Chains A and B, each alone.
Chain A
Amino acid sequence: EVQMVESGGGLVKPGGSLRLSCAASGFTFSHHGFNWVRQAPGKGLEWVSSISPSSAYIYYADSVRGRFTISRDNAKNSVHLQMNRLRVEDTAMYYCVRILEYGDFDIDHWGQGTLVSVSS
């Protein structure tokens, strides 16, 4: 069974940092790219970042570029999102999202999310 479990969310002050993790199991991790997608309370979905299977391709939304860093560890079946210089507007549920095996774009699984709250 495919499982993706996010962790690392919490309450942080503006300007602070958090590191989100996504622990995956039940599939061949190195065959898949991943996205991080967020959803502010009561709002729609926003793509944040993506990473290819070998980490060769990494991309960021303009809203987070220069502050967030995505990474993965294929030996530990995990994806991470290091979030620095957090802003109030980064408050959201953050989802780890799997891309189809050997694919570039299409999504087939979402984790349950981890909540990040940025407030003074």
Chain B
Amino acid sequence: QTVVTQEPSLTVSPGGTVTLTCASSTGAVTSGDYANWFQQKPGQAPRPLIYTTTKKHSWTPARFSGSLLGGKAALTLSGARPEDEADYYCLLYYSRAQVVFGGGTKLTVL
């Protein structure tokens, strides 16, 4: 069973920078895994932030960026704001039939 692992929780200071990662139990994450990142606030549906590892949607704030880092997919937040406090989920596509979410990272801005 394929497992996608994220940090359970992270804390960042307002204005600071934090990197969330997304690791695969099968080995290094590559661009072919089409990493997607989502932000979810309490009581809301997830909101897409990043697709195809590095691409931003039109509504994605510039302070968010996606990359590959040390064999993992990564989401970097530069210049954190209080409103960025949320749960963040990554998603990896191993194939059309194997689509796996990470367990999520609870990000605190404090």
In the complex, chain A residues 15-64 whose Cβ is within 8 Å of any chain B Cβ? 35, 37, 44-47, 50, 57, 59-61
B45 touches A106 (CB 8 A): no
Q: How far is the CB of B9 from chain A (nearest CB, A)?
A: 13
Q: How far is the CB of B15 from chain A (nearest CB, A)?
A: 29
Query: For the complex, what is the distance from the CA of A37 to the CA of B38, rounded to whole Å?
Result: 13
Majority-rule SS of B interface residues: strand
Chain B interface residue count, CB cutoff 8 Å, equals 22
Residues of A within 8 A of B104 (CB): 44-45
Chain A interface residue count, CB cutoff 8 Å, equals 23
Question: A14 at the A/B interface (Cβ < 8 Å)?
Answer: no
- Our count of residue pairs bridging A and B at CB distance below 8 angstroms stands at 58
A105 touches B34 (CB 8 A): yes
Query: For the complex, what is the distance from the CA of A112 to the CA of B57, rounded to whole Å?
Result: 19
B72-96 CB mask vs A (1 if < 8 Å, else 0) is: 0000000000000000010101001
A106 touches B99 (CB 8 A): no
Query: For the complex, what is the distance from the CA of A106 to the CA of B55, rounded to whole Å?
Result: 10
Query: For the complex, what is the distance from the CA of A47 to the CA of B101, rounded to whole Å?
Result: 7
Residues of B within 8 A of A110 (CB): 45-48
Residues of B within 8 A of A113 (CB): 45
Q: Please report B residues at the A interface, Cβ cutoff 8 Å.
A: 34, 36, 38, 45-48, 51-52, 55, 57, 89, 91, 93, 96-97, 99-104
